[in-house]
Amino acid sequence: MSKSQQPLMSEITPQTEDFSRWYLDVVRKAELADYSPVKGCMVIRPYGYAIWELIQQQLDKRFKDTGHVNAYFPLFIPESLIMREAAHVEGFAPQVAWVTRGGDEELEERLVVRPTSEAIIGTMYAKWIQSWRDLPVLINQWANVVRWEKVTRPFLRTTEFLWQEGHTAHETEAEAEEETLKMLGVYKEFAENVLAMPVLDGQKSSSEKFAGASRTYSIEALMGDGRALQAGTSHNLGQNFARAFEIRFQGRDKALQYAWTTSWGVSTRLIGGVIMAHGDDSGLILPPKIAPYQVVIVPIQRGNWQETVLPKAKAVQADLQSLGVRVFLDAREEFTPGWKFAEWEMRGVPLRLEIGPKDIEKGQVVLARRDTREKMPTPLAELQPRVTSLLDEIQQALLARAIKFREEHTSSSATWDEFTTAMEGRPGYVVARWCGRDVCEAEIKSETQATIRNLPFQQVPGGVCVHCGQPAVTDARFAKSY
């Protein structure tokens, strides 16, 4: 291993030794989140929340560009409302938290702490929608939800987490399906172009669809340990929730009919996905578009550096900030430059800018990429365009690297022996023919721990199921998952 390839933060467990421990080390040491006194809940620290804010801002713009508006609905849902949709209740029952007392009084009706908002939002839509002229309703909310999880891990699965949930109502089935797929496309574009995290989009199997939905679609990302992560979902709810909550309207033909509804969401789980998709043994590697600091400036503390180097570093900072680049100037005297290099590598800042007395004499700075650790002396006169172009290059390079990793960890299996051999360890995706039966899917999961992540949109019949040998209806993407 060359010096440039050696990990700089020995406190972080190597990925090859224990990927799960590596992940927890990075979350803690990069100060993304911390454990809270409430079991299963996390505290999102400022650096981690800054990443979420950038995700939120860029997604929110995409939602508004597609005609959606934001609103907010209550955290508490009366028991009578949540019980109206039977499949929905059954699906969420094990994860529901209940409120039974308010102050010193027993509540007349128990309240659910929001696990998702179809019930409360459906109830309000029933009040607001009277005519076809009121449609479509395109609302999103940014909120927290609570799901009583037994096994938790920061960002990936916590009892309380932050998310957005879109809820829409439409005049026709075709419009609802168009909306469902449109928002899946928004998620896919965002994951790939902002998070640099390539995803596979497709339809969930019947057993994996959202409780109460007609169809569920997902985007699935592959993590650095070969496990898959469900990164976002979009649900066509059909008329199921409209019937449960009486969302009816007078149609163009004057007849009373039920609306067609959808819901879709992503959460702070995306931060966990970014950590595991891009990180290395030195810590985080953040795509520039969601990095709280895209550039960190480290002045070299030699001689009277506060009179010579620091003013120049501040001028460079101001110049880059004028371009909209997020810059942090690390002028802390109590830490050496070498310590700062390792610290900011661990925190995943895309570009480090070093400037010292000798650099000033030469009219240059030294740029260092986080993804490749390449060091580049750069004339000050060329700095601004060089930084912006490098940030674009890093963004694209991370996506390309992740796509290459996914391709290298995707295989096909035609027989059960091939499938079980391929599923040893954490191989990534294994594509195989499947019969479409829930019982067969359950047996595959029981025998291999692999689940169907989703089904490709192009479903070609023919062949036989990899497990049971019955006629197949589609290819399925199998993987072990988070």
Q: pLDDT tens digits for the chain (482 residues)?
A: 343 444 444 589 999 999 999 999 999 999 999 999 999 999 999 999 999 999 999 999 999 999 999 999 999 999 999 888 777 778 788 889 999 999 999 999 999 999 999 999 999 999 999 999 999 999 999 999 999 988 999 999 999 999 999 999 999 999 999 999 999 999 999 999 999 999 999 999 999 999 999 999 999 999 999 999 999 999 999 999 999 999 999 999 999 999 999 999 999 999 999 999 999 999 999 999 999 999 999 999 988 998 999 999 999 999 999 999 999 999 999 999 999 999 999 999 999 999 999 999 999 999 999 999 999 999 999 999 999 999 999 999 999 999 999 999 999 999 999 999 999 987 899 999 999 999 999 999 999 999 999 999 988 889 999 999 999 999 999 999 99
Domain count along the chain? 3
Are 144 and 195 in a shared domain? yes
Q: Does the residue 404 lie in any domain?
A: no
CA dihedral 176, 180, 183, 185 (to 10 degrees): -120
Does the predicted model carry a pTM greater than 0.75? yes
Is residue 7 domain-shared with residue 108, that is, in the same domain? yes
Q: Indicate if 12 and 143 belong to the same structural domain.
A: yes
Domain limits for position 87: 3-278
Look at residue 10 in the predicted model and tell me its pLDDT.
52
Residue 390 shares a structural domain with residue 414: no
Burial of 99 (0-12, 13-18, 19+ CB in 10 A): middle
The CA dihedral of 472, 477, 481, 482, to the nearest 10 degrees, is -110
Q: Check whether residue 66 and residue 114 sit in a common domain.
A: yes
In a domain, 400, yes or no: no
* Dist. CA 107–CA 300, nearest whole Å: 63
- CA-to-CA distance for 482 and 473, rounded, in angstroms? 26
Same domain, 259 and 390: no
pLDDT at 303: 86
Q: Residue 26 domain-assigned?
A: yes
Q: Which residues of 161-171 are buried (b: 16+ CB within 10 A; e: fewer)?
A: bbbbbbbbbbb
Q: Are residues 193 and 256 in the same domain?
A: yes
Output the domain CATH number for residue 135. Answer: 3.30.930.10
**Cα dihedral 108, 113, 117, 121 sign:** positive
Domain final position from 365, 394, 423? 394
Residue 401 lies in a domain: no
The pLDDT, as a whole number, for residue 4 is: 40
Q: Is residue 241 part of a domain?
A: yes
The pairing of strands 33-35 and 42-44 is antiparallel
Residue 283 lies in a domain: no
Indicate whether 359 belongs to any domain.
yes
Terminal CA-to-CA distance of the chain, rounded, Å? Answer: 31
Q: Looking at residue 371, what DSSP letter applies?
A: T
Determine, yes or no, domain membership for 329: yes
Helix, strand, coil: what percent of the chain each, to 5? 40, 30, 35
Whether residue 469 sits in one domain with residue 385: no
